[in-house]
Amino acid sequence: MSSIDELMNLDLESITNKSIADYIWIGSEMELRNKSRTILDGPITDPKLLPKWNYDGSSTGQAPGNDSEVILCPQAIFKDPFRKGNNILVMCDTYTPSGEPLPTNKRFNASKIFSHPDVFKEEPMYGLEQEFTLLQKDVNWPLGWPLGGFPGPQGPYYCGTGADKAFGRNIVDAHYKACLYAGIDISGTNGEVMPGQWEFQVGPTIGISASDQLWMARYILERITELEGVILTFDPKPIPGDWNGAGCHTNFSTKSMRSEGGYDVIKNAIEKLGLRHKEHIVEYGTGNERRLTGRHETADINAFSWGVANRGASVRVGRDTEKEGRGYFEDRRPASNMDPYVVTSMIAETSILWKP
Amino acid sequence: MTDLLNLDLSKNTEKIIAEYIWVGGSGMDLRSKARTLSGPVSDPSKLPKWNYDGSSTGQAPGEDSEVILYPQAIFKDPFRRGNNILVMCDCYTPAGEPIPTNKRYAAAKIFSNPIVAREETWFGIEQEYTLLQKDVNWPLGWPIGGFPGPQGPYYCAIGAEKAFGRDIVDAHYKACIYAGINISGINGEVMPGQWEFQVGPSVGISAGDEVWVARYILERITEISGVVLSLDPKPIPGDWNGAGAHTNFSTKTMRAPGGYEEIKKAIEKLSKKHKEHIEAYGEGNDRRLTGHHETADINTFKSGVADRGASIRVGRDTEKDGKGYFEDRRPSSNMDPYVVSSMITATSLL
């Protein structure tokens, strides 16, 4: 019999102009949802030319059953690494039929901040370090960990190799190439301190696109774990005790920070972040208090600190930046389950627009 | 084996293989057999009629068992590829009468009525279906002897604990595009292990042909995967969604400015024939149309804008633009698209 793979790899381009667009959106609990539609008259590369669509919001906790339509607005297009050919992935945001963004639509507000002229001209640039944990299906215990028990303590696993130290590399490597194929600015990967935990980085990317790309990278990752029968979690502290949590360190710079004398602009921004610590922390991911304990390379959630090369601080500045007098800084507070639309726009807003 | 299955015959011979497909005696079972033709054919009227043993499908007595197959629509074969084809057929006695399970014949008469033909009836059919684990007939992804967590996370979901069987769905999408079916989209459904694909917009009788061939391709793919396909409208009783085949419909008049009035008139006519339609909308639909799980109760006719608990739903866009289409949410997943598409047409137009 034909195999499923042969059917998945059918060459449609030589027989039709049709292509498939996979519309992706964020549900009521930051879970990703998708459905696909056929595009008839040739591939589309501009999101503004893609049709708006809609879905049943009553099935995702985003609308009542008797008025259930939620509108999907295409915002960014990526090549589909699963369907390949001219097929695309489309990152969307969500609106009521009368055009109001849903309460769960965090992109709308972020977009307003990024189009503010003072923010726009500073070319705010982001590098997002997404950590994540892989779990075994049905038992929800980390991949590679013995059932009913624990692996040896942390130490050997960070950037480790070997069947006893690195669990799930095929997922990470497939994801790396798939993201590059899709057109995402994926800049690297590494195995993390906790076994079964990994990290990939997206950036440097300017403005709202950093968040569109991170959400799309998360989508591609969960589609790959689905293929592998492995569970993906962005929980910030998946295993309590002497095991690292998972964060999403956010590296940030503006045009001024990257120019001559930028280090002063950086210090000024960090000071402002310090004054708004509570407001930021509330938006930096649910459950972060289980992770930001002051141990395991984190700063305590209640205290704001910063330092050069200090991984125990809330904000870290690299030695290069200090030496050259310009560069970027790293906000280490965001949890792995943070919403990048919220975090990136808030850092830009506090650093550039906010006056104490 | 793969090499043999993928032999490129076009280098050695003009011959092609045609897979003749028909609907069997239950009205839902698809049957097929293949024959060699001397060269490529793209017009169904140029294909030879054929016949099969109706006594083996409950469609003829043993002592007079020939049932004649009339080719009606051709599609490219996504399994054999090359110039090979799938042929949707309908069934006749040797004397040329449509057999009782041949629902296409009466539908074709309705669609060739000049009033109907002129109105260019368009259909979008949303086929829901459930995938079951072989031998145990328990939904794919569900623990044996138990249940998954309640509905909520599964609609349009991704992830190994939320989406079960996507490879079948994705292979089916491309296979149908390849075949020349107007497949317009897919999505994961509310019940885990349940999925939906949409066919349309298709004009007239071709909607029925395309849905049947899409079902055929789907069952051939589940066969490859060792998974069982169910079109039962309520595969699991209790707080689990059923499976339907919502049928979207419009005419030329409905799609033109002011068409909303025509839509409202058609809905009015449908409301008066609720019982007749419901009887033809699929076996076992009473287990599904309860008034819960985004259905309207089977005994009630209700219509509304954006209302997924209604019998007939009109989209907000249609209301706003004053023209468009409406969605009959009553047909179950095991409906016969020839019957439903022609009945909605007849009630609305004739």
> Do B210 and B68 fall into the same domain?
no
Confidence category of residue A1, pLDDT binned at 50, 70, 90: low
Q: Are B306 and A66 inside 8 Å of each other by CB?
A: yes
| Mean pLDDT to the nearest integer, B81-93 | 96
- Would an 8 Å CB–CB cutoff place B256 in contact with chain A? no
- Does residue B108 sit within a domain? no
Q: Does one domain contain both A219 and A277?
A: yes
Instruction: Give dist(CA A129, CA A286) in Å, integer.
Output: 18
Q: Which DSSP state fits A178? A: H
What average pLDDT does the segment A122-130 reach? 98
Same domain as B252, residue B200: yes
CATH number at residue B141: 3.30.590.10
Question: Is residue B107 in a domain?
Answer: no
pLDDT average, residue stretch B89-108: 97
Query: What residues make up the domain containing B16?
Result: 1-99
Among A4, A54, A59, select the one facing B155 at the smallest CB separation. A59
Q: What pLDDT is stored for residue B2 in this prediction?
A: 86
Domain of A192, in residue numbers: 117-353
B53-68 average pLDDT score:
92
Q: Do A48 and A99 belong together in one domain?
A: yes
Q: Does B109 reside within a domain? A: no
B17 Cβ under 8 Å from any chain A Cβ: no
Residues 280-339 of B with CB under 8 A from A: 294, 304, 306-309, 315-316
- pLDDT-wise least confident of A202-211, B16-25, B59-68: B59-68
Sign of the Cα pseudo-torsion (B9, B12, B18, B19, in order): negative
B interface test, pick of A3, A5, A6, A14 with most B CB neighbours within 10 Å:
A6
How many domains does chain B fold into?
2
Distance separating alpha carbons of residues A32 and B157, to the nearest angstrom: 7
Residue A220 and residue A290 in one domain: yes
The answer to whether position A48 is within a domain reads: yes
Closest by CA position to A20, among listed A7, A35, A9: A35
pLDDT-derived band at B128, boundaries 50, 70, 90: very high
Domain end, chosen from B49, B74, B99, is at: B99
Residue finishing a domain among A83, A104, A125: A104
| Number of domains composing chain A | 2
* Cβ-contact B157, B194 below 8 angstroms: no
**Considering only CB atoms, which chain A residues are within 8 Å of B161?**
137, 231
- Counting Cβ atoms within 10 Å, is residue A22 exposed (0-12), middle (13-18) or buried (19+)? buried
Same domain, yes or no, for A197 and A312?
Answer: yes
- A235 and A288 belong to one structural domain: yes
Lowest mean pLDDT among A10-19, A343-352, B251-260: A10-19
Same-domain pairing of A90 and A121: no
Residue B185 has pLDDT above 90, yes or no: yes
Note the pLDDT of residue A103: 96
Question: Quick check: helix, strand or coil at residue A71?
Answer: strand
Interface pTM, i.e. ipTM: 0.90
| Percentage of chain A exceeding pLDDT 70 | 99
Q: Are A239 and A280 in the same domain?
A: yes
Is there a single domain that holds both residue B89 and residue B173? no
Average confidence (pLDDT) over B197-204: 98
Q: Are residues B94 and B149 in the same domain?
A: no
User: Does any domain span residue B208?
Assistant: yes
Contact A166, A240 (CB under 8 A): no
Q: Could you tell me if residue B104 is inside a domain?
A: no
Between strands B245-250 and A88-95, the pairing is unpaired
Query: Which of B6, B158, B308 is closest, CB to CB, to A223?
Result: B158
- The domain that holds A300 is classified in CATH as 3.30.590.10
- Does B227 lie at the interface with A, CB-CB under 8 angstroms? no
Query: CB of B337 within 8 A of CB of B212?
Result: yes
Do B283 and B217 fall into the same domain? yes
Whether residues A192 and A56 fall in one domain: no
Task: Please check whether residue A192 lies inside any domain of the structure.
Answer: yes
Mean of the pLDDT values across residues B191-210?
Answer: 98
The b-or-e profile of B254-290 (16+ CB within 10 A means b, else e) is bbeeebbebbeebbeebeeebeebbeebbeebeebbe
* CA-based R_g, chain A, Å: 21
Percent above pLDDT 90 for chain B:
90
Look at residue B4 in the predicted model and tell me its pLDDT: 86
- Judged against a pLDDT cut of 80, whether residue B235 lies above it is answered with yes
Task: Give the percent of chain B with pLDDT over 70.
Answer: 100
**Which chain B residue has the Cα nearest residue A65?**
B308
Q: Residue A80 above 90 pLDDT?
A: yes
Is the pLDDT at A66 greater than 70? The verdict is yes
Asked if residue A127 and residue A59 are part of one domain, the reply reads no
pLDDT of the residue at B189: 98
**B233 has a pLDDT exceeding 80:** yes
CA nearest A12 in B: which residue?
B178
| Whether residues A82 and A227 fall in one domain | no
B217 in a domain, yes or no?
Answer: yes
Does one domain contain both A37 and A151?
no
What's the mean pLDDT in A21-37? 98
* A109 assigned to some structural domain: no
Q: Which residue has the tokens 């090549």?
A: A79
Residue A171 and residue A62 in one domain: no
Q: Searching chain B, which residue's CA lies closest to the CA of residue A55?
A: B156
**Do residues A27 and A104 touch, judged by C-beta distance below 8 A?**
yes
Residues 6+ apart with CB under 8 A from B224: A1, A2, A3, A4
Q: What is the mean pLDDT of residues A36-65?
A: 93
Chain A environment of B79 (Cβ under 8 Å)? 1-2, 7
Can you give the CATH number for the domain in which A75 is found?
Answer: 3.10.20.70
Q: What is the pLDDT of residue B293?
A: 84
Q: Are residues B139 and B184 in the same domain?
A: yes
Is residue B31 domain-shared with residue B8, that is, in the same domain?
Answer: yes
A222–B2: do the CB atoms touch at under 8 Å?
no
Q: Report chain B's terminal Cα–Cα distance, integer Å.
A: 54
How does residue B192 score in pLDDT terms, banded at 50, 70 and 90? very high
CATH number at residue B74: 3.10.20.70
More confident residue, A255 or B291: A255
Q: Is the pLDDT of residue A134 over 70?
A: yes
Contact B159/A67, CB-based, under 8 Å? no
Mean pLDDT of chain B: 96
Would residue B301 count as lying in a domain?
yes
Report the DSSP pairing between strands A306-308 and A315-317.
parallel
* Residue B105 placed within a domain: no
Assess if residue A193 is contained within a domain.
yes
Cross-chain Cβ contact A36/B168 below 8 Å: no
Share the mean pLDDT of chain A. 96
Looking at the structure, tell me whether residues B27 and B134 fall in a common domain: no
Asked whether the predicted pLDDT for residue B89 surpasses 70, the reply is yes
- Cβ separation A222–B225 shorter than 8 A: no
Instruction: Give the pLDDT band of residue A128 (cuts 50, 70, 90).
Output: very high
Residues of chain B found within 8 Å of residue A60, distances taken between Cβ atoms: 155-156
